[in-house]
């Protein structure tokens, strides 16, 4: 940990530090903002605020432009795949790179690359190029930069805040990202008719310049072990997977996320449920509400993360959160009323926020600094790949058994699998800081 960072923090125990004000009344429930007292973390977090919304502008603009050109949802799906493959590949490699170089410099290069890509998106749109091939190449390039950027960004947090504040720091970051998932698309929908599609790309590019400046002001984040020759090739990526296999708590944290996302993420069935089960509200309205349910719950969980962010039994918090997620998803599947269903989805979002906070804290605290980048690379792949596998699984199960049965069954399966895993392997139950 950087001494400049640690000197500006509190003592880091569950009890208040000497001279620190006690959190009373509602403040005990509100988000723990202690990490924001650390200037370096505050800069990194503030850059996340900008990109959380800005990136969603491009995330909306690209499929909109592809559909306007092709009038085909299939091409929109192909574009998603074109972005997924390089993101997965470069996240794994980027994790290894993040363990070999100054992470601040890597963040500067990759954030600059993402900003330049957004400018290229703007250039092709403003010139009326109307080429799906160009859009897919730019999307692949953007996601490759994102894959390189994400492991370094997350791994840097453990160098900027003390270990006992990692859950609070993760809650702050996750809340901003979830807020971006809600506010970004709404803002994009409002801006497209006013300023047009090309300018949406330009706004994202300008926002990313703020991010580059914030990262530039971070302290150096060079590898802690100096004088050791390092590489970032296939052998080092494989060493990261071996490291996971030897550290059960890390392996279990990944498995917990895979169980929750693969068996319990029913978004592929939202369109059918909106049309068939909740169609009386209007299929379009119901679909939008269903998609907003989990992010809104996650944001609420983040805003009131003071309830749980100081917990020290990180393993039990993950287990409880994943079980709660499964119960909420099962309840959603059994709900015939739209607003009851949304309430269950929001509860699932709260559970997901708790899970994200403590899984992230485990990955940052249980792994050594020279492995944190690779752990975050694998984490990025799991987070991106799990829901996509869930789309296939739930789509198939929904066609075979009906959407509500598939959702309820998936949620119940999450509960069973998580409890079996927690009972069979005690490493996660025992993990605490």
The 3-class secondary structure across 281-331, one letter per residue, is HCHHHHHHHHHHHHHHHHHHHHHCHHHCCCCCCHHHHHHHHHHHHHHHHHH
What pLDDT digit, counting tens, does each position of 43-61 carry?
Answer: 999 988 888 888 888 888 8
Give one DSSP letter per residue of 204-241, joined into a string. Answer: HHHHHHHHHHHHHTSPP---SSTT-----SHHHHHHHH
Residue 195: how many other CB atoms lie within 10 Å: 12
What pLDDT digit, counting tens, does each position of 105-158 carry?
Answer: 999 999 999 999 999 999 999 999 999 999 999 999 999 999 999 999 999 999
The SS3 of residue 414 is helix
Q: Which pLDDT band holds residue 227 (cuts at 50, 70, 90)?
A: low
The SS3 of residue 130 is coil
Q: Copy the structure tokens of residue 232.
A: 């970032």
DSSP state of 28: G
Which of these ranges, 61-65, 334-338, 422-426, has the smallest mean pLDDT?
A: 61-65
Distances (CA, A) of 263 to 317, 386, 392: 20, 9, 10
What pLDDT digit, counting tens, does each position of 116-127 carry?
Answer: 999 999 999 999
- In angstroms, rounded to a whole number, what is the distance separating the alpha carbons of residues 51 and 48? 5
DSSP state of 161: S
Q: Percentages helix, strand, coil for the chain, rounded to the nearest 5? A: 80, 0, 20
Per cent of the chain over pLDDT 90 is: 66
Q: Copy the structure tokens of residue 312.
A: 């020290």
Give the Cα-Cα-Cα angle 431, 372, 429 (nearest 5 degrees). Answer: 10
Q: What integer pLDDT is reported at residue 350 of this predicted model?
A: 96
**Of residues 22, 51, 37, the one with CA closest to residue 142:** 51
Residue 433 vs residue 197, higher pLDDT: 197
- In angstroms, rounded to a whole number, what is the distance separating the alpha carbons of residues 160 and 170? 12
Tally helices (H) and strands (E) across the chain.
16, 0
CB 316 within 8 A of CB 429: yes
**Of residues 377, 379, 12, the one with CA closest to residue 166:** 12
Distances (CA, A) of 21 to 31, 34, 36, 37, 139: 15, 11, 16, 14, 48
Residues 6+ apart with CB under 8 A from 235: none
Residue 376 vs residue 288, higher pLDDT: 376
Looking at every residue in the chain, the average pLDDT score rounds to: 88
């Amino acid at each position: 940990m950087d001494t400049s960072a640690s000197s500006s923090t509190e003592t880091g125990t569950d009890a208040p530090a000497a001279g620190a004000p006690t959190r009373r009344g509602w403040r005990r429930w509100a988000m723990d903002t202690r990490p924001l007292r650390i200037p370096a973390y505050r800069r990194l977090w503030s850059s996340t605020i900008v990109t959380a919304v800005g990136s969603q502008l491009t995330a909306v603009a690209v499929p909109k432009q592809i559909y306007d050109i092709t009038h085909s949802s299939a091409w929109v799906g192909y574009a998603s795949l074109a972005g997924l493959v390089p993101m997965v590949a470069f996240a794994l490699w980027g994790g290894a790179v993040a363990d070999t170089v100054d992470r601040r410099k890597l963040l500067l290069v990759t954030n600059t690359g993402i900003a330049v890509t957004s400018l290229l998106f703007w250039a092709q749109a403003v010139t009326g190029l109307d080429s799906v091939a160009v859009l897919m190449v730019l999307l692949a390039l953007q996601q490759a930069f994102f894959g390189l950027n994400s492991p370094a960004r997350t791994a840097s947090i453990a160098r900027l805040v003390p270990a006992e504040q990692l859950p609070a720091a993760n809650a702050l970051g996750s809340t901003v990202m979830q807020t971006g998932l809600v506010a970004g698309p709404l803002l994009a929908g409002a801006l497209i008719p006013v300023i047009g599609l090309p300018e949406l790309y330009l706004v994202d590019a300008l926002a990313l310049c703020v991010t580059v400046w914030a990262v530039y002001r971070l302290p150096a984040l060079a590898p802690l072990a100096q004088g050791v020759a390092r590489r970032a090739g296939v052998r080092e990526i494989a060493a990261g997977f071996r490291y996971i296999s030897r550290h059960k708590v890390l392996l279990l944290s990944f498995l917990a996320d895979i169980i929750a996302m693969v068996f319990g993420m029913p978004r592929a069935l939202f369109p059918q449920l909106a049309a068939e089960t909740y169609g009386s509200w209007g299929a379009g309205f119901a679909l939008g509400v269903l998609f907003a349910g989990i992010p809104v719950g996650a944001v609420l969980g983040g805003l009131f993360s003071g309830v749980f962010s100081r917990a020290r039994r990180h393993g039990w918090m993950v287990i409880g959160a994943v079980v709660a997620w499964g119960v909420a998803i099962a309840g959603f599947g059994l709900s015939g009323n739209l607003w009851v269903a949304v309430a269950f989805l929001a509860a699932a979002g709260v559970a997901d926020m708790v899970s994200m906070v403590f899984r992230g804290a485990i990955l940052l605290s249980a792994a050594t600094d020279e492995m944190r980048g690779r752990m975050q690379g694998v984490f990025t792949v799991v987070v991106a790949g799990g829901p996509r596998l869930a789309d296939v699984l739930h789509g198939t199960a929904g066609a075979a058994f009906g959407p509500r049965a598939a959702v309820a069954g998936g949620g119940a399966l999450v509960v069973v699998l998580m409890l079996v895993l927690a009972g069979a392997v005690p490493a996660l139950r025992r993990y605490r800081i």
